Chains A and B, each alone.
Chain A
């Protein structure tokens, strides 16, 4: 692969059709590999705090499908048509600088997941030490997070090659681990025991638990927002950009989360690294923990790599050496070294936050791409940051779109406060994440019909005056 091809696949250049890696089989395999990752364990564990097995499966599978559908239709069809990654795709709707605000949300998503997964890595080290009879404490988890960050830095700094090599072993290994967990659960405990296992920390109102678990499911679907553009721009046909994402990031991911949910309910712990020894015994359990720890490192390295690439959008960082850029992505994860358990316990709040931040953006993009622009974008304008460019708007910001997205966040937090877990009664009919998608979509659509001509700037031109690459 030439340097230009590498740049187009892993950088911001639009990917040409002959360069796209995924046919039908490749798209399904890649989406499946994405879906079988260690964050499934976290999501299933958090759901187990609220609901039992049957309702948990419904919330995780159906909620996740719904979230993926709302996030994927616009990004997949748009990024596939133009070979774009998702932040560039946001520029027609949000403006050249407005898209940078979406970038911040994207980075919080990626680095938040990295931190949580690294705490899981630290927990795995602690539990291995415990299983082998060594004294442990929270300090060992913090040290594990620091070690994980250092290893991730070393891997990412050496480029994507090491990630590709490790993924060849990690994905099949994770599939084997999940099959092992599912078989062990059904053989040793049986479906009746799993279905009867009580949730770990429910509120006294069953409907409330169900609705909050549903929010977690939908939010976990929306949290794929950050990876959808990368997958779609590398597919060759439009169907291959949509169906594998719904099938695997929606359905398969929900089912894998369900295996994690069952494990958490049976073992009565939401910490995935506590499931392995009770399920597999000391020998197999420790082996599984070592493997989960390795898988966590790969997931973290992928997130940090993607975050580093995303930072290249910022003009001041485009020429910064790659290693310095990686340091910038690792620094925000430092609090996880010092307060691992406190931050880990806020993981369900973070999951809900994914719904808060991505649902409104997805709603605005849906209306903008399908209804207002009829799926027609100007690549010249996307890559041109000159103040009289078509997508520059006012000062680089499309305030109507940004205002609608901000309104969506207010709607979400009004309907569901993830910190206090307070729910508005409307959520019995419309989940907060779905409302946070619909309200901004409607407001933005109406606003553009009323004021669109005022915010639309110069017509598209076919040259780059101020290239933003």
Chain B
């Protein structure tokens, strides 16, 4: 695949190739327990507090 004449586009293509070649593991894990923690902090505890103090 030839390189694009516009240097901005050539740079963009280089970056796209680099990111697509990146292994998921290189970006760290966000597993099921992370989801549980996030849902607990972002939904369950706030909703429980809202319910409790609504009265």
* A17 and B22 within 8 A (CB): yes
A66 within 8 A of B: yes
Q: Kindly provide the distance from the CB of A10 to the nearest chain B CB, expressed in whole angstroms.
A: 14
* B46 and A379 within 8 A (CB): no
Q: Kindly provide the distance from the CB of B11 to the nearest chain A CB, expressed in whole angstroms.
A: 6
Q: Kindly provide the distance from the CB of B44 to the nearest chain A CB, expressed in whole angstroms.
A: 10
Interface residue ranges of B18-55 to A (CB < 8 Å): 18-20, 22, 24, 26-30, 34, 38-39, 41-43, 45-47, 49-50, 53-54
- Not counting A69-B39, A73-B42, A239-B34, a sample of 17 additional A-B residue pairs whose C-beta atoms are within 8 angstroms of each other reads A14-B16, A17-B27, A62-B47, A63-B46, A69-B41, A81-B24, A81-B27, A210-B54, A236-B28, A237-B27, A238-B28, A242-B38, A463-B13, A467-B4, A467-B8, A469-B8, A469-B9
Partner of B47, one of A66, A242, A383: A66
> Could you list 8 A-B pairs, sorted by A, with CB under 8 Å?
A8-B15, A13-B11, A63-B50, A65-B41, A68-B42, A77-B30, A81-B24, A240-B28
Q: Kindly provide the distance from the CB of A56 to the nearest chain B CB, expressed in whole angstroms.
A: 10
Contact A83:B34 (CB < 8 A) given known A58-B53, A69-B42, A469-B8: no
Partner of A379, one of B1, B9, B16: B16
* A62 and B49 within 8 A (CB): yes
Task: List residues of chain B with CB within 8 A of the CB of A73.
Answer: 38, 42
Binding site for A on B (CB under 8 A): 1, 4, 6, 8-9, 11-13, 15-16, 18-20, 22, 24, 26-30, 34, 38-39, 41-43, 45-47, 49-50, 53-54
Q: Mark A208-228, 1 if CB is under 8 A from B, else 0.
A: 001000100000000000000
Write the chain A residue with the least CB distance to B49. Answer: A62
Task: List residues of chain B with CB within 8 A of the CB of A58.
Answer: 49-50, 53
- In angstroms, Cα B19 to Cα A250, docked, is 30
Partner of A246, one of B1, B42, B54: B42
* B15 and A14 within 8 A (CB): yes
Task: List residues of chain B with CB within 8 A of the CB of A178.
Answer: none
Q: Kindly provide the distance from the CB of B28 to the nearest chain A CB, expressed in whole angstroms.
A: 3
* A83 and B42 within 8 A (CB): no
Interface residue ranges of A1-30 to B (CB < 8 Å): 4, 7-8, 13-14, 16-17
Interface residue ranges of A238-256 to B (CB < 8 Å): 238-240, 242-243, 246-247, 250-251
Q: Kindly provide the distance from the CB of B22 to the nearest chain A CB, expressed in whole angstroms.
A: 6
* A66 and B42 within 8 A (CB): yes
A294 within 8 A of B: no
* B19 and A237 within 8 A (CB): no
A80 within 8 A of B: yes
* A463 and B1 within 8 A (CB): yes
A207 within 8 A of B: yes
- In angstroms, Cα B37 to Cα A239, docked, is 11
- In angstroms, Cα B54 to Cα A217, docked, is 14
- In angstroms, Cα B41 to Cα A69, docked, is 9
Contact A17:B49 (CB < 8 A) given known A4-B11, A379-B20: no
- In angstroms, Cα B18 to Cα A14, docked, is 10
* B4 and A250 within 8 A (CB): no
- In angstroms, Cα B18 to Cα A214, docked, is 44
Task: List residues of chain A with CB within 8 A of the CB of B45.
Answer: 62, 65
* A16 and B16 within 8 A (CB): no
- In angstroms, Cα B41 to Cα A214, docked, is 17
- In angstroms, Cα B4 to Cα A243, docked, is 39
Task: List residues of chain A with CB within 8 A of the CB of B54.
Answer: 207, 210
- In angstroms, Cα B54 to Cα A65, docked, is 17
Task: List residues of chain A with CB within 8 A of the CB of B47.
Answer: 62, 66
Q: Mark A39-79, 1 if CB is under 8 A from B, else 0.
A: 00000000000000011001101110110111001000100
Partner of B15, one of A13, A62, A247, A463: A13
Partner of B50, one of A13, A59, A462, A467: A59
- In angstroms, Cα B21 to Cα A394, docked, is 30
- In angstroms, Cα B39 to Cα A469, docked, is 36
A464 within 8 A of B: yes
